[in-house]
A and B are shown apart, each in its own frame.
Chain A
Amino acid sequence: MRRAAALAGALWLVAAWPAAAELRVLASTTDLKSLVEAVGGGDVMVDSLVPAGADAEAFEPKLSDLARLRAATLIVRVGLGYDAWVDRLIRQAGDTRFFRGGAADVDASVGIPLLEVVGRGLEAQQSGHAHGAANPHYWLDPANADTITAMIAAGIGRVAPALAARVAANRLRFLTALAARTRDWQTRLAPYEGAAVIAYHSSWPYFARRFRLNIVGVIEPKPGIAPSPAHLARLVAAARDVRPRAVLHEPFEPVETARLVATRTGAPLVVLAPSVGSVSGTGDYIALLEHNVAALARALASAE
Chain B
Amino acid sequence: MIGTGEMVVLLALPFAACVVFIGVHAYLGIHVLRRQIIFADLALAQLSALGATVAFALGHPPTSLAGFAYTFGFTALGAVLLAMSRSLARRVGQEAFIGILYVVATALTVIVVDRLPQGAEHVKAMLVGSILTVEAADLEKFAVLYGALGGFLWLARRPIVALSETGAPAGGRAMVWDFLFYLSFGLAVTSSVAAAGVLLVFCFLIIPAVIGSLFAGRIAPQLAIGWVVGAVASALGLLGAFELDLPTGAALVVAFALALVFAGLVKYLAWGDAAERRAHRRRAARAVAGCAAALLLASSLWLMAAPEADQPLLDALEAVTGIGPMPFLSDGERTAFVDAVRDEQRYRAEVERLNRLEQASRYQGPALGADEVRRLASYMQSFNEMQRGERFVQATLRARARLRARWYVGVPLAILVLAAGALLLGVPGILLPRARTRLYSSG
B2 touches A252 (CB 8 A): no
Question: Which B215-273 residues sit within 8 Å CB-CB of chain A?
Answer: 238, 241-249, 251
Select one of B245, B363, B381 contacting A212, CB under 8 A: B363
Once the chains bind, are A229 and B363 in contact (CB under 8 Å)? no
> Complex formed: what's the CA distance from A256 to B135 in Å?
9
Known A228-B241, A230-B245: A257·B362 in contact at CB below 8 Å:
no
A116 contacts across to B, CB distance below 8 A: 355
Residue B100 is within 8 A (CB to CB) of chain A in the complex: no
Measured CA separation A173–B115 after assembly (Å)? 37
Instruction: Tell me how far the C-beta of A163 lies from the nearest C-beta in chain B, rounded to whole angstroms.
Output: 27
Q: Which residues of A contact B117 (CB under 8 A)?
A: 51-54, 252, 278
Per-residue CB contact flags for chain A residues 211-248 toward chain B (1 = under 8 Å, else 0) read 01111000000001111111111101100000000000
From known contacts A118-B384, A229-B10, A229-B238, infer whether A254 and B132 are also in contact, taking CB-CB under 8 Å. no
Contact among A113, A212, A233, A252 for B118, CB-based, below 8 A: A252
- By a CB distance below 8 angstroms, the chain B residues around A118 are 384
Interface size of A as a range: 35 or more
Contact A117 B242 (CB under 8 A): no
Interface pair B377/A117, CB less than 8 Å apart: yes
Task: Say if the beta carbon of B385 comes within 8 Å of chain A.
Answer: yes
Chain B hits for A143, CB < 8 A: 370
Q: Chain A contacts of B121 at CB under 8 A?
A: 55, 58, 252-254
B-side contacts of A193, CB under 8 Å: 363
Write the A94-118 contact mask toward B (1 if CB under 8 angstroms, else 0).
0000000000000000000111111
Task: Check if B371 is an interface residue, CB within 8 A of chain A.
Answer: yes
Whether, in the assembled complex, A161 has its beta carbon less than 8 Å from a beta carbon of chain B, the answer is: no
Give chain B nearest CB distance to A240 CB in angstroms. 10
* Count of residues in B whose CB is under 8 Å from the partner chain: 50
- B358 and A115 form a contact (CB under 8 A): yes
- Is the Cβ of A227 less than 8 Å from the Cβ of B247? yes
A62 to B119, CA, bound (A): 14
Please tell me which one of the listed residues B125, B247, B364, B370 contacts residue A254 in the complex, with CB atoms under 8 A apart: B125
Task: Check A132 for interface membership: any CB of B closer than 8 A.
Answer: no
**0 or 1 for each of A50-67: is its CB under 8 Å from B? (1 = yes):** 011111001110100000
Q: Given A53-B118, A115-B358, are A230 and B242 neighbors across the interface (CB < 8 Å)?
A: yes
User: Min CB distance, A107 to chain B, in Å?
Assistant: 16
* Given A55-B121, A117-B377, residue A236 in contact with residue B6 (CB < 8 A): yes
Q: Which residues of B contact A184 (CB under 8 A)?
A: none
Check if B125 sits within 8 Å of A113, measured CB to CB.
no
Is residue B24 within 8 Å, beta carbon to beta carbon, of the partner chain?
no
**Cβ of A22 under 8 Å from chain B:** no
Q: Residue on B with the closest CB to A52?
A: B117
Q: Which of A52, A115, A214, A226 contacts B363 (CB 8 A)?
A: A214
**A60 to chain B: which residues have CB within 8 Å?**
120
B371 touches A229 (CB 8 A): no
Distance of A236 Cα from B238 Cα, bound (Å): 18
Give chain B nearest CB distance to A106 CB in angstroms.
Answer: 20
If A53-B118, A237-B2 touch, whether A232 touches B132 (CB-CB below 8 Å) is yes
Asked if A158 is an interface residue, CB under 8 A from chain B, the answer is no
- Interface contact A229-B362, CB-CB below 8 Å: no
Interface of B with A (CB < 8 Å)? 1-2, 6-7, 10-11, 114, 117-121, 124-125, 128, 130, 132-133, 238, 241-249, 251, 351, 355, 358-359, 361-364, 367-368, 370-371, 373-374, 377, 380-381, 384-385, 387-388
15 contacts between A and B (CB under 8 A): A114-B373, A115-B377, A116-B355, A208-B362, A209-B373, A213-B363, A215-B362, A226-B132, A227-B247, A228-B242, A252-B118, A253-B121, A254-B125, A260-B132, A260-B133
CB within 8 Å of B: which residues of A?
51-55, 58-60, 62, 113-120, 123, 133-134, 143, 193-195, 205, 208-209, 212-215, 224-234, 236-237, 251-254, 256-257, 259-260, 278
Give 9 nearest A-B pairs by CB, closest first: A53-B117, A256-B133, A113-B373, A119-B384, A58-B120, A117-B380, A194-B363, A252-B118, A226-B247
Additional A-B contact list (12), CB under 8 Å, known A54-B119, A60-B120? A54-B117, A55-B118, A113-B377, A115-B358, A116-B355, A117-B384, A120-B384, A214-B362, A226-B128, A228-B251, A230-B241, A256-B133
